[in-house]
Structure 1
Amino acid sequence: MSARLSFFAAVLGAWLLAIVVRLYGLQVIERQHYVKLASDQQQRVVTLAAPRGTIRDARGRELATSVEVESVAVDPRKVEDPEHTAAVLGEALGWSSRQRAELVARLTANADRHFIWVARKIDPERLQAVEDQRDTLPGVNLLPESRRFYPLGELAAPVLGYAGMDNIGLAGLELFYDKIIAGRPGRRVVIQDGTTTKVTHPGLEASAARAGADLRLTLDAALQYRVERELETAVRRSNAASGTVVVLAPQSGAVLAMASYPSFDPNRLSDYSRSELENRGRNRAVADAYEPGSTFKAITLAAALEQGAVSLDDEIDCEMGALELNGVRIRDHRPFGILSVRQVIARSSNVGAMKLGLAAGRKALYDTIRAFGFGRPTGIDLPAESAGLLRPLERWSALTPAYVSFGQGISTTALQMATAFAAIANGGRLLQPYVVAAIGDREVGPEARRRPSTPVSPATVRQLRAALESVVLEGTGTPAAVAGYRVAGKTGTAEKVIGGRYAEGHYVASFVGFVPAGEPQLVIAVVIDEPWPAYHGSEAAAPVFRAIAQQALLHLGIRPLREPHRAWPGERPPSGPLPDDRPAARRQVSLARAALPAPVPVPAGTVPDFTGLSKRRAVALASRLGLRLELHGSGFVRRQQPSAATPLELAGSTLELWLTPSLASDGEGP
C-alpha cells in the first residue's frame, strides 16, 4: 500500500515539477515572446493620414484642396451571406454584375480576415445609398478618409494633375511637388478587444500627422478660364485634334495661364479609360513637341542679325518661289521676288529664311538656336517636360541649315517657343519659366531658378522686335492685331511628320507673339493641332492670340495706346499721314541710296564701280566676274578695293567692299 502511495506521490510530484518548470519557462524564460504575441493580438498601429496642402492661384482662389469623405470596408468574418452583401452594396454603389461577382469571390477568399476595402472615397449620393442599407449589411463599415477635391473642375487640370486613391501625386503639380504638399502621416497605437473595437490609451505611442505645405501659383484662375474658353472654341471651330496656349509674363518668366484641350475633370477620374486619361490629362504645353514651322524664322533672323550678315533693309532675292540646294529643289509657299529682310519675315518667305540661315552660317545658326534654349528642357517646375529635338551640329547634313531656317527638321514645345519669344520681348534675357510663386509662406525668389542667359545682343533684339511687329502690321500676322495696342509676333504653318514622313493634309498652325510691342507684358503662344480646312497659322492660331490678348490686357488693366492728336479743337488738321517708326526707317534707306554716287563707267577688262550697289547685286556682279568678295558691313557699297577701273589682271581674285545701311555710317571701313 505504502509502495502504491509512494508511486502516486512520485508521479504527482513529477507532474507538479513539470508544471512548475513549464510555468517558469512561460513566465520567465519565454515571457518576452508571449508578451509580444499578446501585444500583436491586442494592439494595432493606425496610420493617421496627413492632409495634403492646398493649391491656390495667384489671387488666393483654391484650385486643389483636401476634404473628408467616407470609404466602405467589410469585416468578412461577420458577413453571413456574401452574395446578399455583394448584391446590396453593388446596387448602392452602381456596380455592374461583374463587379458584384468579384466582391463575392473576395469575401469568400478572405473569410478569415477582419478587414478588406470595398469602395474608397465614395461620392455623397453613393454614401447615402450605403447608409440606407446598413441595417441589412452585417460587417460593413464606413471609415473617414481624406480625398483630393478640385473646386473648379477642369480648370487648369493638366497643370494641377491629380492625386491617387492613397493621396499620392500622380501627375502635374501634384506629382512634381508631392513630397512638399503630401505632409507627413502620423501613427497611433490602439488596443483592440475581442470584438475588434479599438480604444486609445494615453500611455500608448502616438505621433500627430503633419499637414503638407500649401502652394500659391502664378496662374490667375480668371485669366485661365478665359484662355481655356477661347482655346476650346478655336479647336471646335477649326475641327482640330487638340490645342495648346501658354501665356507668360516676359519680365519674370511667370506662367499666367497654360491650357490644353481636350482636358479632363480630376474629380471624376473613374469616368475615363486609361487611354482617355493619358490623352486628356497630358499637359501638351510641356509634353508635346512639334515642328514649329515659320514661327522659327524669328530665331533664324536673330542668328543672321547677330552675325552682322544682314540688316532689316537689306534685299534678298527670293527666287520667285524655289531654290535649288545640293540638287534638291525647295519650294516656297508662294512666289516672291526681291524682298527686304523685314519683308521676308513679314510675308514669311521660306526661300528668304533659308538665305538668312545660310548667311548666318551653320555653326552660328546652331549656336543661336541653342542659346535660345532649344534642344533642352526649359526647367519649368512641371513633370514630363520634353526637350524637343535639335540634332547635334556634327549630325547636320548639308541641307539641315536650310530646312531648320524655316522650322523643319527641328521640334519644340509651345513653352519653349513662348520662352524664346519672351527673351526677345524683355530685351534679351532667357528666363526659366515657373508656375509656383510661393511654398507655404515662403516666396520662391529668382535665386531658386536658373540664372538668366543672354542669347543675343540688345541691338539684335531691337531689330527682331521691329521685324516681328511688321508681321502684324503688314504681313501674315494681321489677324493677330489688337485694336489700341502694338503687337509683335510670327505665324507658323508646319506639315506634321507621321510615320517618319511629312503627311500631306496634316498641319500644325501656330502663332507666338507679345503685346504691347513697345513695353511687352504678355507673351502668348497658340498651337492648334490639325485644323481643317483653314490650316494656316494666320487663319487658325492668330485670331486666338487676338481674342486672348484682348481679354488678358483688359483683365490685367494694361491701358491701350492713345492716338496722337492731329489737331486741337478749333485748329485745322495737318495734311498728310502722321509719322511712325516704319516709314522713317524706309525714308532712311531711300536717303542712303540717294546719297550714294552713281556708278562710274569703266573700260572693259577692268574692275567695275560697285559703289551704290546693294549687297545682293554686288555679290551677283562679282560672281559673274569670278571675283571672291570680302564684305564689311551690310546695306549698300560705299567703298571698294581695288578701286574701279583697275585692270582685272592687276586686281587679283579678291575684291573688298565696305557697305553701309545709311548716311550715318559714312566713315565705315578700316
Structure 2
Amino acid sequence: MSKSNLKQRKKKLNVGALLVTLGIGAFFLVLIVQYTILMTTQSLNDEDLIAHGEAKYLRVAINEADRGNIVDRNGNVLASDMVTYNAAVITDEAYLDEPLDIDTVSRQLSDIIELDYEEVRETIEYGVENSRFQVEFGTAGRNLTYNEKRALEDANIQGLVLEQDKRRFYPNGDFASNLIGLAEKNSQTNHLVGQMGIEAAFDDYLIGTDGRIDFTQDLWNYVVPNSDTASEAHDGHTVKLTIDSNIQLFLEDSLDEMDEHFEPEAVFATVMDAKTGEILATGQRPSFNPDTREGLDQSWSNVLYQTAFEPGSTFKIFGLAAAIDAGEYDPDDTVRTGSFTVGDTVINDWDPDGWGTLSYNEAMQYSSNALMMTLQDRVGTDEMLEYYHDFGFGQTTNSEFLNEAAGIINWQYELDKKSVSFGQSITVTPIQMMQGATAIFNDGMMKKPYVVKSVTDSDSGEVVYEGQETEVRQVISEEAAAETIKELNTMVDGSTNRNRAFMIDDYTVSGKTGTAQIIDEENGGYLFGDYQYLTSFMGYAPVEDPEIVVYYVLRLPTENQSDAWDYGVSLGFTTVTERTLKYLDANEASDTNFVNVDDVRDFTGLNVENLKSEFSHREEKNVIIGDGTEVVDQYPKSGKLYGFEHFFIVTDGTKTMPDLTGVSKRDMYALAEMLNIDLSMNGEGYVSSQSIEAGTVIDEDTTLEVTLQSDYQN
C-alpha cells in the first residue's frame, strides 16, 4: 500500500471517530437536557409525571347522597329513597366450588322472585352456553325488598350474588301521583332524577351532593397512611307540600268511587283552602302508581296545571262577579230566558224553551245562558274581557310547575265573545278556576294557589324556600265579593230547589254546576251524542265563612250516564267535602266522630304508669312501645286535630314490635315515621299480617312489611 493511500485511509478513520464522538456527545447532551427538564418541571411531553404516578395508585370511594324526602304538611313521607337489592347468578363455573345445579337454582329462585321456573332456567342456561360470568333476571330480579333478600340468602342458592341498590319509594302508591311525580335513575350518572311533578320541578332542591374519599394504595394494595382526604355527602333537601294526607285519602276514595260508577274518560278534583290558596288535595283518574309504574302510560300530565278545557257553566261565577262589581247586576231585575240572538245565530239555554221571564237571581239558579250574555252586554264587551284577564284567565298562574298551560280566550268574533260568557270558546285549567275563586272568598283579593309549603336543608334544618300566601291583585271590590257569595249561596237549595244533590247533612254548601260540550279534536266542532259532556261543580263550604273550595270535574261517562246528567258530580263532591269538613272540624257539625283538638294532650316526659288512668276511658286502642318508664314520643301529636283508631306511645326503653293487627294504613305511615323504620305495605285497608312478630326488638335498621285487607278492621 502506497503512502498516499495509507494517509487517505487514516484521514477517513479520524473523520469517522469524530462523527462517532459527536454522536455520543449529542446523545448525552439530549439526556442531560431531558433530565434537567424532568427535574425542573416534573413533566415530560406536557404530561405531569407526578400526577401520573399518583393517579396510578389513587383510589376514590363515593358515598352516595340520598335524594331529599317529599312530605305532606304534617311531615308524613310521600316520597323517599329506599335500599333495594338486585339478584344475579354466577354462571362461570371457574368461580364456583362445584358444577352449577341449574335445576335446583331455578326452582329456588322461582319460589321467591316473580319469575316462573322456565324463565329462570332459560336465563341461566343462556349464560352458561354463552360463557357469561353471571346472569341477571330483568325487572323481576331488581328492586328486591329486604325480606326478599333475606329469603334468598336463607335459601343458600348456589352462585347467588346480591347487590345493594337504591330506588325511589312512594309508600302510598297511587296517591296524588301526578302532583308528586316520579324520579328515576339516570343510566349515565346512576342518580335519581325527577321526571315529572314535584320531583322534576324541585329536582335542584331534592338532589343531594355525593361525598367522596380519595386515598392512595401502594403496590401491595395497602392504604398509604395519611393519604386520604374526605368530603361528606349532603342529602337532598326536604320538600314539604301543602297537601294533607288525610284529605288526599278522602279525595282518592271519592275519585275511585266516581271512576267505578261512571267509568269515565277522566275525572279529577282539587280541594283548596279558600282563605290562603293552599292546595290541600288533588287527584285524577286515570292515574298511576309511581312505585310500580302501573298506569303511567295513560297518565303522564298533571291535569291541575297542564290540561286546558272548556269549563261550561262553572265559569259563570266570574261573569256574575264582574257584573256585580260593575253595578250591572240587580237580583230582582228580569230577563227573558230560553234563547239569545247573536247576529244570525240563535244561542239557546240548556232548555231551549227556557223558563219564561225570571229575576236575575232565579235565572242564575237555572244557569241561563241568556242571562250571562245579557250581563256581558250590560258590562260592556271590552270591560268584561278585562275582568276575565284580571281573574287570571288566558295566562298562567306562574306556578311552581313546568309546562303550565295558559288556556285561550277566543275574542275575535262576536259569537265567540258571547259564548265565553257561559264557558265556551274559552279554555281554562283547574288551577286557574281555583285561583279565580280565591278573589270571591277573600274580599275581592285574588290569591295565588300553591302546593309547596317549604324546602328545608337536610343538614342545618334551615328553610331555604318558603311557599306562602301571595296576593295577586284586587279583582273586584270587597262589597262585590260579599254580594257574589250571597248570590252563589242560593245556587244549592235556593228558591228554585235546584242542585239539592250537593247538600250535605250538618253543613251548608253551595257552588255552581257546569255542563260543557267537548271539543272534537279529530273532526273539529263539538262531540255529538247523548251524554257527550264534561260535568263539573265549583263548590265551597261552609257558606257563612267558606273554609274550603272543591272543584270536581267528570268527563265523558260511559256507565250510569243518566246519573251524570241528573246528579252531576255530587257523588264525588259530597263524599270528599263532608269528610274534609269533619276532619277540619269546621265548627258546623252537630255530631262528629273526630276528636277535638283539645283532647290530644302532650304526654312526652310523663311517667308511663301515670297514663294508664288517662288511657282507660279512651275508645281508641292504646299501644305502648318500649319497656321504659318515660314517654319520649306519641302519635297523634299534641294539639293534633285527627280522627284516629290507635294511640301510640313510645318510651325511653328498648323498643319492641307491637301487634299491628287492625292498624289502618294511615296510622301505619305515622308509626313507621315515628319509629324511623323502613315500611312496605301491600293492599288497602287494615293490617292483617306483619313480617316481624310482636315482641321482637327493633331499631333504625328494621325493615317491616305488612299486608292490609279492607275487611280486617278489628
1:47–1:501 CA distance, 2 compared to 1 (3 A): farther
* Pairing partner for 2:345 from 297, 306, 328: 328
TM-score after normalising by structure 1: 0.70
Query: In structure 2, what is the equivalent of residue 423 of structure 1?
Result: 439
Does residue 508 of structure 2 align to residue 486 of structure 1?
Answer: yes
Query: In structure 2, what is the equivalent of residue 185 of structure 1?
Result: 210
Q: Is the 8 A contact 1:302 1:368 kept in 2?
A: no
Does residue 422 of structure 2 align to residue 406 of structure 1?
Answer: yes
What is the distance in 2 between the residues matched to 1:554 and 1:531?
29
Note the C-alpha offset of 1:65.
1.9
After TM superposition, the structure 1 = structure 2 runs for residues 30-429 of structure 1, keeping only pairs within 5 Å, are 33=48, 35-71=50-86, 94=115, 121-124=143-146, 127=149, 131=153, 136-137=158-159, 142-165=162-185, 166-190=191-215, 202-269=226-293, 272=294, 276-318=295-337, 321-334=338-351, 335-391=354-410, 393=411, 396-429=412-445
Q: Is the 8 A contact 1:437 1:444 kept in 2?
A: no
Note the C-alpha offset of 1:42.
3.5
Note the C-alpha offset of 1:300.
1.4
1:199–1:432 CA distance, 2 compared to 1 (3 A): farther
1:100–1:351 CA distance, 2 compared to 1 (3 A): farther
Query: In structure 2, what is the equivalent of residue 456 of structure 1?
Result: 476
Moved more, 121-130 or 330-339: 121-130
Q: Helix, strand or coil: the match of 1:188?
A: strand
Q: Is the 8 A contact 2:93 2:100 kept in 1?
A: no
1:136–1:502 CA distance, 2 compared to 1 (3 A): same
Query: In structure 2, what is the equivalent of residue 589 of structure 1?
Result: none
What is the distance in 2 between the residues matched to 1:357 and 1:55?
45
* Pairing partner for 2:583 from 555, 563, 567: 555
What is the distance in 1 between the residues matched to 2:289 and 2:467?
35
Aligned AA (1:242): A
Aligned AA (1:524): V
Aligned residues: 534
Once the two structures are aligned, what percentage of the paired residues are identical? 26
- In structure 1, stretches of 5+ residues that fail to align are 1-6, 564-670
What is the distance in 1 between the residues matched to 2:65 and 2:128?
29
1:79–1:468 CA distance, 2 compared to 1 (3 A): farther
1:373–1:208 CA distance, 2 compared to 1 (3 A): same
What is the distance in 1 between the residues matched to 2:578 and 2:95?
66
1:535–1:329 CA distance, 2 compared to 1 (3 A): farther
After TM superposition, the structure 1 = structure 2 runs for residues 613-624 of structure 1, keeping only pairs within 5 Å, are none
1:204–1:141 CA distance, 2 compared to 1 (3 A): farther
* Pairing partner for 1:435 from 432, 451, 456: 451
Q: Helix, strand or coil: the match of 2:405?
A: coil
Note the C-alpha offset of 1:258.
0.9
Note the C-alpha offset of 1:510.
0.4
Q: Is the 8 A contact 1:514 1:521 kept in 2?
A: yes
Note the C-alpha offset of 1:59.
1.8
Does residue 550 of structure 2 align to residue 524 of structure 1?
Answer: yes
What is the distance in 1 between the residues matched to 2:380 and 2:152?
72
1:30–1:304 CA distance, 2 compared to 1 (3 A): closer
Structure with the higher fraction of residues in helix conformation: 1
Aligned AA (1:509): T
1:198–1:76 CA distance, 2 compared to 1 (3 A): farther
Aligned AA (1:152): N
What is the distance in 2 between the residues matched to 1:260 and 1:60?
23
Q: Is the 8 A contact 1:297 1:406 kept in 2?
A: yes
1:289–1:177 CA distance, 2 compared to 1 (3 A): same
- In structure 2, stretches of 5+ residues that fail to align are 1-16, 186-190, 592-714
Q: Is the 8 A contact 2:168 2:192 kept in 1?
A: yes
Aligned AA (1:214): T
Q: Is the 8 A contact 1:72 1:142 kept in 2?
A: yes
What is the distance in 2 between the residues matched to 1:364 and 1:478?
34
Note the C-alpha offset of 1:338.
0.7
What is the distance in 2 between the residues matched to 1:198 and 1:131?
31
What is the distance in 1 between the residues matched to 2:222 and 2:298?
45
Q: Is the 8 A contact 2:517 2:526 kept in 1?
A: yes
Query: In structure 2, what is the equivalent of residue 624 of structure 1?
Result: none
CA shift digits 1:109-164 (9 cap, x unpaired): 999x9x9x997644446645765798754xx8544333221222222222211211
1:331–1:201 CA distance, 2 compared to 1 (3 A): farther
1:126–1:108 CA distance, 2 compared to 1 (3 A): farther
Note the C-alpha offset of 1:517.
1.1
Moved more, 225-234 or 84-93: 84-93
What is the distance in 1 between the residues matched to 2:520 and 2:86?
46
Query: In structure 1, what is the equivalent of residue 573 of structure 2?
Result: 545
1:239–1:180 CA distance, 2 compared to 1 (3 A): same
CA shift digits 1:14-34 (9 cap, x unpaired): 8xx99x959969985657655
What is the distance in 2 between the residues matched to 1:548 and 1:423?
23
1:449–1:559 CA distance, 2 compared to 1 (3 A): closer
What is the distance in 1 between the residues matched to 2:447 and 2:401?
16
Q: Is the 8 A contact 1:238 1:534 kept in 2?
A: no
Aligned AA (1:455): V
What is the distance in 1 between the residues matched to 2:358 and 2:466?
43
Note the C-alpha offset of 1:349.
1.2
What is the distance in 2 between the residues matched to 1:200 and 1:412?
66
What is the distance in 1 between the residues matched to 2:323 and 2:129?
73
Q: Is the 8 A contact 1:491 1:542 kept in 2?
A: no
What is the distance in 2 between the residues matched to 1:35 and 1:451?
62
Q: Is the 8 A contact 2:334 2:357 kept in 1?
A: yes
1:353–1:202 CA distance, 2 compared to 1 (3 A): farther
Aligned AA (1:511): F
Aligned AA (2:568): A
Aligned AA (1:540): G
Q: Is the 8 A contact 2:452 2:467 kept in 1?
A: no
What is the distance in 2 between the residues matched to 1:106 and 1:424?
72
Q: Is the 8 A contact 1:484 1:561 kept in 2?
A: yes
What is the distance in 2 between the residues matched to 1:159 and 1:295?
24
CA shift digits 1:276-325 (9 cap, x unpaired): 4142343222222221101011111122222222212111111xx22221
1:99–1:234 CA distance, 2 compared to 1 (3 A): farther
What is the distance in 2 between the residues matched to 1:21 and 1:76?
54
What is the distance in 2 between the residues matched to 1:99 and 1:450?
61
